[in-house]
Structure 1
Amino acid sequence: MTIDFALPPALSAHEPPEARGLARDAVRLMVTDSGGRIGHHRFRDLPELLAPGDLVVVNNSATLPAAVELDRLAVHFSTAREDGTWLVELRRHTSGGTEPYPGGAAGEWLPLPGRATLRLIARETPRLWRASLDRPVHSYLHERGKPIRYSYVEAEWPLADYQTVFATVPGSAEMPSAGRPFTAELVTALVSRGVRVAPITLHTGVASPEKDEPPYAERFEVPEPTATLVNRTREDGGRVVAVGTTVVRALESAVDPQGRLRPAEGWTSHLVTPETGVRAVHALLTGLHEPRSSHLRMLTAFTGEEVLCRSYDEALCEGYLWHEFGDTHLLFGNKW
């Protein structure tokens, strides 16, 4: 199944909502309920859409300034590997931004700003290289890097605009953007209503908009307190709401054969699809995803293809905004 549609350029969010005169939590929120009905809200309405006893699970990964600019190329640092190497994407500068660069060769050395050197080791995927930098990557990126930006974002914005209120563990190449509309005040309102909030960590890699690829292995952790809260919420009849596809991936990677969540950490290659289903999560709060994106398969595991297509038709007709600075979508699973 591939969900395809034409995304008009005008529906790409070109800057943070704050630059459009909106607070973070004033972006729009489309809700698709378990019966397939569609409603329209503002994100700050979220506490009213949830119930006491529900659990909101968030990703506490912080965004790195993962793009390093060269004269003709940009290097996007994606994912740290266990052996100290990194997956990186090489991109070529164009008049409107960057595009994937097909060049490079195993063993090639690339001089980077600040007299650093990146060595290409081998291709990990058709798009990504395994590479090593001759100095600690995190400190180098904070010295020389900037947030990854694609052509639909028309100007550079500071790293703070690419962080969520939950960001405490640095490691993501791109922002876990489903959590961006949360504010401290909104979290307080959720807790005051009796909705609990718990973290996981999943460090997101690069997701170039030109490529329709399934996500590759990413580092994650589901801590014991979060696993306990998920199990208790389900046992007590509450709903587990995942904030972002990264949270779904982490939680579904930690479900044991009996359907209980266990503490887990490491690397996950798990793909959530209609065939695998969802076992730990009742609802997903996410952004609006690209046509043909592999993330759309995850969404159909919650709603089914027909309901998801209707939801996206509605979002297009109502002028919702796509991408990391855009609007949001709350989907309740059709079997709950």
Structure 2
Amino acid sequence: MKPARWPVDQPEEGRLLHVEPREGRLTDARVADLPSLLRDGDLLVVNDAATFPASLLGRTVLGERIELRLLSQEPDGTWLAVLFGAGDWRKRTEDRPTPPAMPAGTRFTVVGLPVRVVEVLPPSPRFLRVAFEEEGAGLWSALYQGGRPVQYAHTLAPLSLWHVQTGYGARPWATEAPSAGLPLTWNLLLTLRRRGVRLASLTHATGLSSTGDEALDALLPRPERSDIPAATVAQVEATRAAGGRVVAVGTTVVRALEGRAAMNGGRLVAGESVTDLLLGPGFVPRVVSGLFTGMHEPGTSHFALLQAFCSRTLLREASAHAEARGYLGHEFGDSCLLLDA
């Protein structure tokens, strides 16, 4: 499936493949048709994490060019990060040169910020826990002034931060955009509300999708933090009690809701937590009825996640159908709705 190379001007006109797992039916539609595919009383849950500039160019003390991509902030204020050699997004991650060795204690600079390697983590010498000398507002100011959004070689030109924000982004928790929500304009969300579809949100710290290092990519997604408001829990419970369906916008929302429920014997509880839940074949969702997401090809980690909602056979059929009809993949691509009618 060809990747979409740039954000579209009218995301509601993007293509939408409706997959009905129980009937095995595939229907071509548009994102603008989403209100007619959901019911009065359904609940659409979005991830309102804003995307922060997590791609940081810098140099070693010897002047060697490097790139540090932040993965997540730890409770003690340190960061998990992935190191890349010289270059930028124009070269595929798997083709980037090997970065210099950075043992614990090594110091370097990115976007004008001094950084210290706290720890090198398995399974790759590129996987680091680092500490910035700057903290708080000073750190975030430097990140936003000098950092760039994480992007990959299929894109046409340098992305601005606003290209990777959903219309409802709030706290800057996302290393990469929770991209399933990019097509959801405020006009579309208001139309959904008028049709009786309820809207709720949570915040989930979306991490990196690829590093180009096979051993490291096998660990993705890493444990990620979520914050589920009490109002969202109440809406989920009311929707299910009334026979409505809970539809997640993106696999991060599924991971947040199902991970939180799994920690509490199937009961959804409000608050902040970290989940290491991995979705895939054999996983039976307890909270979520359906999924609105991007187009994902067989062999990708996201494709495996979708098998919690649909059989591998039907997903492969859907992927072949989409490719034959010119659907586009990746973060700015077309959409898929996995939901029985």
TM-score, length of structure 2 as denominator length = 0.89
Pick one of 27, 33, 44 that aligns with 1:39: 27
**Aligned residue type for 1:325:** F
- Secondary structure class of the residue paired with 2:239: helix
**Which amino acid in structure 1 is aligned with residue 104 of structure 2?**
A
* Candidates 57, 66, 70, aligned match of 2:45: 57
Counterpart amino acid of 2:329? W
1:239 lines up with 2:241 in the alignment? no
Which of 51, 61, 74 lines up with 1:81 in the alignment? 74
Q: Compared with structure 1, are the counterparts of its residues 190 and 215 closer, same or farther at alpha carbon in structure 2 (3 Å cutoff)?
A: same
8 Å Cα contact 2:73-2:79 kept in structure 1: yes
Partner of 2:62: none
- Contact 1:92/1:98 (<8 A) preserved: no
Cα distance between partner residues in 1 of 2:221 and 2:239: 29
The amino acid across from 1:49 in the alignment is L
1:293 aligns with 2:295: no
Query: Partner of 1:4 in structure 2?
Result: none
Q: Is the 8 A contact 2:297 2:319 kept in 1?
A: no
Q: Which residue is equivalent to 1:111? A: 109
Letter of the structure 2 residue corresponding to residue 44 of structure 1:
A
**AA of the residue aligned to 1:131:** V
Identify the residue that residue 16 of structure 2 maps to in structure 1.
29
CA contact (8 A) 2:120 2:128 kept: yes
SS of residue matched to 1:301: coil
Distance in structure 2 (CA, Å) of the matches to 1:284 and 1:59: 13
Q: Is the 8 A contact 2:115 2:131 kept in 1?
A: yes
Are the equivalent residues in 1 in contact too, given 2:298–2:316 (CA < 8 A)?
no
Unaligned runs of 5+ in 2: 60-64
Structure 1 range deviating more: 274-283 or 49-58? 274-283
Structure 2 distance, partners of 1:291, 1:275, is: 17
Contact 1:242–1:283 (Cα < 8 Å) also in 2: yes
Aligned counterpart in structure 1 of residue 231 of structure 2, from 216, 225, 228: 225
Question: Please, what is the CA RMSD of the aligned residues?
Answer: 1.9
Compared CA separation, residues 141 and 94, structure 1 to 2 (3 A): closer
Distance in 2, Cα, partners of 1:122 & 1:62: 28
Measured in 1, the distance between the counterparts of 2:320 and 2:232 equals 35
Counterpart selection for 1:13 from 4, 7, 21: 4
| Structure 1, 122-131 or 301-310: larger mean CA deviation | 122-131
- Name the CA distance, whole Å, in 1 between partners of 2:127 and 2:14: 33
User: Matched residues, percent identical?
Assistant: 38
For 2:315, which of 308, 312, 327 is the aligned residue? 308
Q: CA deviation at 1:98?
A: 5.2
Shift of residue 112, structure 1, vs aligned partner: 2.2
Per the TM alignment, residue 241 of structure 1 is displaced from its structure 2 partner at its CA by: 0.4
Q: Deviations over 1:276-335 (max 9, x none)?
A: 3211001001112254222222211101111111111111111111111111111026xx
Q: Following superposition of structure 1 onto structure 2, how do residues 240-279 of structure 1 map, counting pairs within 5 Å?
A: 240-255=246-261, 259-279=266-286
Mapped to 2, the partners of 1:26 and 1:46 lie a distance apart of: 11
CA-CA distance at 1:97 after TM superposition: 2.3
Alpha-carbon distance between aligned partners in 1 of 2:5 and 2:304, rounded to the nearest angstrom: 26
1:124 correspondence with 2:112: no
